[in-house]
Chain A
Amino acid sequence: MDALVLVPPIFALGTAYGALAIDAGLSSWLTIVTSVIVVSTAAQFTAISLLTAGWLPVLVACTGLAVRHVPMSATLGAILKHESPGVRAALSWVLVDESYGLTLNRLRDGEIDPVSYKAAADLVLYGSWLAATVTGVLIGPRLSPDTIGTEAILPLLYVTLVAGLAKGQAVGRVVIAALAATVAAVAILPSAWQVSVAALCGAIAGGRGR
């Protein structure tokens, strides 16, 4: 299944998160609970990075990161509008970049049962994330994120997702607009808002007239 190829990087990231969260001062059980209820690599890493700054910076940052889910919700909601509200609510739980990207790719390839596909992908990703978090909590300080290349894994993952979606007209325009918007956002905005604002600007600049 497609989602299985994401297990190694998800596991590496989850293990790193578990270890870093303990290092940031979270208890073992709270670290695991955060992965159970938040299910967001970006929000969880950001939250533990900003914990010492207080609750408000964490909430502002995580809200900024969450904004990018809204268009994802709109896109997938329009596709799944004929499903029951309960199914749509359940599929919202693990609406992460990876399962979203995989589902869209699959739909473009002719997938006729997106609910089952996404549900299976969600289970694989969620299960991997939880197992990895537990692993990180248990073996924590003995791991070196630099050694396993954690800092390179996420960009590589997103490069792959870009490649999967880079089909059709105006792709170049969207990519260039998003890159330019990202550079500007990094220069101007606080880190919590950079991706959300850049993605929206890139989509607006590159997506009109598609």
Chain B
Amino acid sequence: MSDLILFVVVAAVTYASRAVFMIRPREIRNSSRAGVLGAFPLALFVSLAAVGTIAPSGSFALNLPVLAASLVGVAITFSRRRNVLVVMGGGLIAYWLLTWLT
């Protein structure tokens, strides 16, 4: 399979997963299912942040600069400064500092 065809298939799968319930919306009547659906975005971003921090390559790997960046990011958001750039800036400063030190 050529690289172009491969990426066309990847694009088709990706778009299909995004469009499946956008084009044909389903009413979620079951309250338990609605609760799970409502919790999914938060669970997804927690998982993405955690994997990016503790296992970016798929297996556990302690990367101190990345861990420091994430912990600083979490600390800043707990301080109510939930602006993306403030979190990014604070986290990246921690990242560069630890990179320089280690």
Contact = CB atoms under 8 A, between A and B. Distances in A.
Interface string B85-99: 101100110011001
B7 to A, nearest CB: 5
A33 B40 CA distance: 31
Contacts of A201: 43
Chain B interface mostly: helix
Given A73-B17, A88-B23, A182-B51, A174 B39 contact: yes
Interface string B2-40: 011011111101111111111111111000100111111
A112 interface: no
Interface residues of B, number: 71
B92 A158 contact: no
Interface in B29-88: 32, 35-60, 63, 65-66, 69-70, 73-74, 77, 82-85, 87-88
Contact of B44 (A62, A68, A76, A149): A68
Dominant SS at the A interface?
helix
B72 to A, nearest CB: 9
Interface of A: 5-6, 8-9, 26, 30, 33-34, 37-40, 43, 47, 51, 55, 58-59, 62-63, 66-78, 80-81, 85, 88-89, 91-93, 95, 97, 100-101, 104, 146, 149, 151-166, 170-171, 174-175, 177-179, 181-183, 185-187, 190-191, 194-195, 198-204, 206-210
**9 nearest A-B pairs in the assembled complex, by CB-CB distance:** A191-B58, A207-B39, A202-B43, A155-B52, A210-B35, A163-B77, A158-B49, A66-B17, A92-B19
